[in-house]
Homo-oligomer: A and B are copies of this chain.
Amino acid sequence: MPALKPPPAIELICVGAELLDGHGDDSHRGALALRLRAAGLRLARETIVPDDPEALEGAVRAALGRCDDLLVCGGLGPTFDDITREGVARALGRDLVFSPRLYAGIRRKFARLKVRPPRENRRQAFLVRGAEPLANRAGSAPGQLIVLKRPGDAPQTVALLPGPPREMAPMFDAEVMPRLKRAHGVPGAAVLSLHLCGLPESAADEKLRPLTRRAGPGLDFTILSGAGQVDFHAFASGPGARGRIARCRRQALRLVGGHVFGEGPATLESTVGALLLRRRLTLAVAESCTAGLLGGRLTSAPGSSAYFLGGVLAYHDSVKRGLLGVRPETLSREGAVSAGSAREMAEGVRRLVGADLALAVTGIAGPSGGGPGKPVGLVFAALAGPGRAVLVRRWLLSGDREAVRQRAAAAALRLLWKRLRS
């Protein structure tokens, strides 16, 4: 095997006092790190600086002295503390130029929303001299891309991206990644992402050990857990990367295949949606403790109207009784958080909405509401249909109120997935 060069080093600078104040969304690094690795590049360092042009100027200068390319996230907004344009221009020894075309575009966005653009938004129409604007489909702040020629060395790309990850990620994918790939011509990088459910992270780690212990130059692995699932990623780079990833995939499926619900961009809700569509089944939900989280996830997949009909948020017992037809005896004898209530909620919403399948969740999310025999974290789910069958499951979920609710929705989706693939 030929010697493998280390992958090109990309640095990330995030700008924002809010990040250093202990709040502010900081999923940039995760999102970018996985994308870069998948392309055979590596995130070599992240620096977080406050909204201070001097601090940013110094950080940009230092990074450009070390890295192959530089991503700067945040500080492109319209307000006084959005200083990225200015700090980067200073670091590059360039000035800022007003772009009438960019400003017209920003004004059009506001016109569409029937809002007069505040004067501050004019700031967003300034470009570092020589920069190319990058379109922002999800917000108002345009990005900027600057290519620095270096005598005797490969050109360096500097991309300025908006702070909100929702705006940053699509801009990076559409505008920046293709250029980085062209610039570095990484000789084959391949990636595998398998999504597992119903297996704790440590158990997944143990089962996958025969594969992961083969990590080395040009092949490495990551196991991540969160949102009720475990994600297994394998990254290969260098010659033969695709073949090595194909072998990894076969081995991984042998080791944990029974738990794999999807690959690549698939989510549990998109996987369930595809199965419902293929089997021409419709779905309804009845939610108590999750109160919409399950419906919200199921409909996050575009096209979900083809199989998701709707449902009932049965938060108060009067709604369980009056609308879903849960029997008063069930509520008084077993309680609202019980196998019986879950079953009757599922049957009730299925009848009411006229769906092929119905999924119901009821539980104690806390912090209060727990009691002897019914602790916080106790959750029941029921899946009614097709036909007369009703599956009921009981789980004891850990975490605070929000974690229990999120895990309950994930567990219910897992139940549905298992039923649909069988």
Contact = CB atoms under 8 A, between A and B. Distances in A.
A338 to B, nearest CB: 17
Given A310-B312, A396-B112, A398-B109, A22 B34 contact: yes
A345 to B, nearest CB: 11
A interface majority secondary structure? mixed
A182 interface: no
Contacts of A368: 302-303
Given A21-B222, A396-B113, A201 B79 contact: yes
A147 interface: no
B313 A311 contact: yes
A103 interface: no
A205 B120 contact: yes
Contacts of A121: 202
Interface stretch (A89-97, A243-251, A256-264, A318-326): A318-326
How many monomers of this chain does the complex have? 2
Interface stretch (A45-53, A126-134, A150-158, A381-389): A45-53
Contacts of A235: 21
Interface in A34-86: 34, 37, 42-51, 55, 59, 62, 77-81
Interface in A212-233: 212-213, 220-224, 226, 233
Contact of A319 (B50, B119, B294, B310): B310
Nearest to A138: B399
Contacts of A291: 292, 295-296, 298-299, 308, 310
Contact of A33 (B20, B293, B401): B20
Interface in A272-323: 285, 287, 290-300, 302-305, 308-316, 318-319, 322-323
A210 to B, nearest CB: 12
A139 B302 contact: no
Interface of A: 17-26, 29-34, 37, 42-51, 55, 59, 62, 77-81, 109, 112-115, 117-121, 137-139, 164, 166, 170, 200-203, 205-206, 209, 212-213, 220-224, 226, 233, 235, 285, 287, 290-300, 302-305, 308-316, 318-319, 322-323, 352-354, 366-368, 396, 398-403, 405
A216 B83 CA distance: 16
21 contacts: A17-B220, A18-B222, A21-B33, A21-B222, A21-B235, A22-B29, A22-B43, A44-B50, A45-B49, A79-B223, A112-B396, A119-B206, A137-B400, A138-B399, A166-B399, A166-B400, A285-B313, A291-B292, A292-B295, A310-B315, A318-B354
